[in-house]
Structure 1
C-alpha cells in the first residue's frame, strides 16, 4: 500500500468531509503527508491511483473552475503536474487495464463520452476496432491478461447496449463473448441526439433527445426525464429507461439542468438543493421547449424522474402546474427537512446539512410542503429498504396529495433498495407507469 487516507470526524463522530492523505516512498519508510481533500468544496488533491513505474499518484484537482487530472510525485518532492484538462467540461474516470490496473487514460464527456489515452498503442487499437465493427461503436477495454496480449473489449452505442469481445492481439482475432440485454437483439432502438434547450433566462441547457424510430418527430406524446443526483449527469449512449418509453411511441428529453455535474463549478452552482429554483426552472423549460418545437403534443406531455429526478418531477408540478399532464416519481426526495433528519442519524449528518442547507428554500423547495399546488395525477414508486432516500418520503407525499384531493398512486416494493435492482420489479414499474401516463392524458384535470 502506497497511499492511505483518514477522514476527519468531529467529537461526536460526524464526518467533516475532509480526508487527510499520506504516502510511503517506493523504498518504504515512514508515512509522509500528501495533502488534504475537502469533498464539500472540492479543494485539494484527491488521489485515485498509483503508477508504480513512474512513482507517482494520479488524482483530481480543480483547475479554472473544472475538475482536471494531475499527477503527484511520490519520491518525497511532492512535485505536481497537470496530466489532462478539458476547456469545457470536467474530466471523468480513469481508464485502467489489466490485473495491475495500469492507468492508460482518462475520459471526459461533451456531447458524447470520449477518451484521452496516455498509451498511444491502445489509442490506435481503439480507433481501428471502432472502424472495423458495424456502426463504429464506442470501444472500451474491460480487462487484460498479464502481458496485455489478450484483451476484453466492450463495444456499445446509443442503439447497442453493448457486446463483450475477447481480442487476441497476437492472432489478430476478435471473438464475441457476451451480449448485454440479449432480449433486445431483434429490436430496433432509437438514436439519441444531443440538443440544446433555451432556458427562460437565455441559457443554453444541454440535453439528449430520443425520438421513436420512423416517427415524424412532431406532435408526439412526450416525457421530460430529469436525471438523479443532482450531482450527476446524463450521457449519450444506451439508456434502458428512455428506450422503453421511446419504443412505446414517446419522445424523451433528458436535460442536464444547471446543478448537473461534469460541466464545471459555474454549472454545478451551489447544487440542485440550494439552487433548486434554477435546476427546476431548466427542467420546466425543457418541457416548454418540447412544445414550442412542435415535438410534444401539449396535451400529452408528462415527466418521469428517479431519486433527485423524482424530486424534480414533483417540484416541476409545483412551479408549473398543468404543464405536465402526469408526474411519475421513483424513490423521490419530497421534503428537504426530512432528508436532513434521515442523515442526522449517520456519520454523514454534517455533509447532508451542508448539501441541503438551511433557510426558506427548505420549505419552498419541498413538494411535500406544497402538494396543493400540484394539479395533475401523481404516481410514486419506492423500495421499502431504500437507504439513500427513505421510503417515508413517498409515503408522506402520497398522503399530502390525497389530503389535498389530488389523485395519487403509491406502489411499494418490499425488500428493495434505491435502484429497484430486480428485473421483474422494473418491468412492473415500466408497464404501470406507461398505463398511468396514458390514462392521465385522457383524464380531465382535477379541480
Structure 2
C-alpha cells in the first residue's frame, strides 16, 4: 500500500490528491473494462486501534476469499494476519477489542437439511495473527440451528480485551450424561476475547429483540416483542424500555409497530449526555428525536428535514458518541450537533475538495486520530489517516487503483416527468467526450425496493457508461428516503406505480433525444432485475434488451421463500397478497415479452432464490422467447467474487452489443 503525506495548515489547506476525472482517458477493450470495473474494491472494511497506531483492513483475495491485514502506521508495513477462503465463509469485518486484540466476523451460507441459510461466526486473534480463538457458542446437541454468534453492542474503552456482546442463546437437549440448558433468546455477555470466557450481563429472553448500550459499558435500552413468546413469530409490535444511570430497573420508553411504521424507535444511546436518539415520523418523514433518560422522558426533535427522511446518525470514537444526523438530497449530508466535529468536517472538505463524500470511518479512543474515507462520483474513494494534533493527512489505500488511468464520467442529478406529471428524481451519467445525442442507453433501476440511489461512484453504471451507454438511474416511487408519500405501499404492493416510473425514465431519455429508441435497454439487480422484467409486461415495445441480475420474477414464489422465520408474517405482508401477486409476476406474462432477456443468478442466493430465475427462463422458453440464464455456483446475492463479476459484465456487454446492434 502506498502512503503519501500531506502536511496540513490550520485550515488543512493543501495540494489536493489527484482526481480520477482528470486523468488521461484510456480506451479499454470489453475484457479490460470488465476487469477494471468488475474487480471488488480493495478495502471491504477498516478500523483503527484504540491507540491510533494500527489499522485493520479486510480486503478481497482470489474468488470469494478475504484477508485481514494490519497496517502499522509507524513503519507503513501491512501484514496479512488471517484469511478466509470463502468456502463457505468470508470475513465481513474486524474491530479492535484492545490495542493488541482483534475481533472478526465471518459470514457463510449453508444447506441445513433444507433451505439455504445464512450464518455468522466470531473469531478473535492478536494483531500479529497469533492466538486465534473461535468465539462460537454453538454446541452439537442444540435443539435448532444457531445462525449467529452475536454482535458487539459496546467496544468499551479498549484498555482490556473485553467487549459487550449481544448473543442469541439456543437451548440444548438433555443427554444421558448431561442436563440440557434451557437458556433461549437474546442475552448480553461481557466477553473476554483472549479466553472466550463470558460474564452474563443480561439473561437470555426469547421475547427480546434489541439491546442498546450507552458506550460506557452499560445496557440502557431493551426492545421486547411479546408475540415471540407464544409462537416464535413476530407481529411487528415492540415495547421498548430504558434504565436510568446505575439502575437495573426497566422503565417504559416507547412502543413501535413495524407494520404501520408508527411509534418512537430508539437507535442509539449517548451515555455521557444521558439521552437516547430515536426515529419517528414527523409530517410523513423520518425525524430524529432526542429523549432524556433521567426519568423525565423529555423529548425534543434533534433534527428533521422538510424534504427527505433522516437516514442515519454519525457516531464517533469507541463510545459511539452521536455527533450528527444524516440525510440525502442528491448526496448524503450531515447536520452536526457537535461544533468540534462540524469544524473538523469543514477542514477535511477544504483539504479534499475533489472528493466531497467524506466520512470518518473510525477514531482512536481519545478521538484525536481518525480513519477517513473520501470519494466522489468520479473517484471510487480513498482511505486516509488523519492525525488531528499533528495536522497530518496520509492516504493509505485506494478503493479501485486499477481505474487510475480510466476516465470516469460525471453523474448528474436530473428530474423527469412520470405519466401523471409527478417529477421523479434520478441520476444521468453520459459517456466522456461524446455528444448526448441518439446514444445507446440503459435505464438502471436500483434494488430494494426500500432503498434509493444517491450521487457517487457506481461501478455497474460506470462500466456501461465506459462502454458507450448513457445510463439513467431513477429513484422511482417506492424508493425509500423521500418520506411515506413517495414510498407509497412499497415497490411490491405498489408495483404498477414503481414500474410505471421506471418505464417513464426510458421514455424521457428518448424524448430528450439522448437515447436512440432502437437501442434502449434496461438492466437491474434484485428488485431492479424485477423492474427490468416487469417493465416488459407493462410496455413490451419500449426496451429492446433486458439484463436481470438475481431478479425477483414471481411474487408468490417470493412470498413462499419467506416461510420459517420469526418475521415471516411481516415479510409476506410487505409483499402483499391477492390478485396483485399474479398480476405483478413477470413469469406469468412471458408471452408479452418482445425483448431478448439475459439472466444472471448465484445458486447460493438467500435473498432471492435461484429458482426464480430458472422459473423465468422456463416461462420465456415455453413462450418461444429468446432467453439465456447464467447460474454461478456457490455464489450469493451480491456476486461477491471478482471473477464472477468480470464474467457477468463481459457477457452483459456482449449481449447488449449483439442485441442492440450498437
Do they superpose with TM above 0.5?
yes
1:310 aligns with 529
Task: Answer yes or no: is the 8 Å Cα contact 2:355–2:379 preserved in 1.
Answer: no
Q: Give the secondary structure class of the aligned counterpart of 1:343.
A: coil
1:134: how far off?
A: 4.6
Is the deviation greater in 264-273 or in 343-352? Answer: 343-352
Q: What CA distance in whole angstroms lies between the structure 2 residues aligned with 1:294 and 1:131?
A: 38
Q: Does 1:153 align with 2:356?
A: no
> What whole-Å deviation, never above 9, does each CA across 1:87-130 have from its counterpart, x for those lacking one?
00001111111111111111111122211111112212212221
CA displacement 1:403-433 (0-9 Å, x = unmatched): 0000111111111111111111111111111
Give per-residue Cα distances to partners, 1:35-66, cap 9 Å, x unaligned. Answer: 22222211111111101111111111000000
User: What corresponds to 1:9 in structure 2?
Assistant: 227
2:225 and 2:409 map into 1 onto residues whose CA distance is: 45
User: CA-to-partner distance for each residue in 1:287-333, whole Å, 9 max, x for gaps?
Assistant: 00000001111111100001110000000011101211110111111
Match of 1:47 in 2: 266
Alpha-carbon distance in 1 for matches of 2:275, 2:348 = 31
Deviates more, 1:203-212 or 1:10-19: 10-19
Among 533, 545, 563, the residue aligned to 1:326: 545
1:349 aligns with 2:568: yes
Moved more, 31-40 or 325-334: 31-40
Q: Offset at 1:152?
A: 1.2
1:95 maps to what in 2?
Answer: 314
Moved over 4 A (4+): none
Post-superposition shift, 1:133? 2.2
> TM-score normalised to the size of structure 2?
0.66
Cα pair distance change 1:8/1:188, threshold 3 Å? farther
Cα distance between partner residues in 1 of 2:278 and 2:387:
32
The answer to whether the aligner puts 1:217 opposite 2:424 as a matched pair is no
Contact 2:279-2:286 within 8 A present in 1 as well: yes
Alignment: residue pair count: 443
Alignment partner of 1:401: what SS?
helix
Q: Secondary structure at the match of 1:263?
A: coil
Residue pair 1:106, 1:117 contacting (<8 A) in 2 also: yes
2:271 and 2:567 mapped to 1: Cα distance? 33
The answer on whether the counterparts of 1:398 and 1:408 sit within 8 Å (CA) in structure 2 is yes
Mapped pair 1:399 → 2:618: yes
Q: Which gives a bigger RCO, structure 1 or 2 (Cα 8 Å, sep 6+)?
A: 2
DSSP 3-state at the match of 2:541 = coil
In our comparison, the structure showing a higher alpha carbon Rg is: 2
Separation in 2, partners of 1:25, 1:81? 18
SS of structure 2 residue aligned to 1:389: coil
1:245 aligns with 2:464: yes
- Which residue is 1:336 aligned to? 555
> What is the rounded CA distance, in whole Å, between the counterparts of 2:232 and 2:262 in structure 1?
22
Q: Helix, strand or coil for the counterpart of 2:248?
A: strand
- The farther-off stretch of 417-426 and 26-35 is 26-35
Cα distance in structure 2, aligned partners of 1:136 and 1:272: 32
Deviates more, 1:389-398 or 1:1-10: 1-10
For 1:407-426, what aligned pairs fall within 5 Å after superposition?
407-426=626-645
Greater mean alpha carbon deviation, residues 249-258 or residues 128-137: 128-137
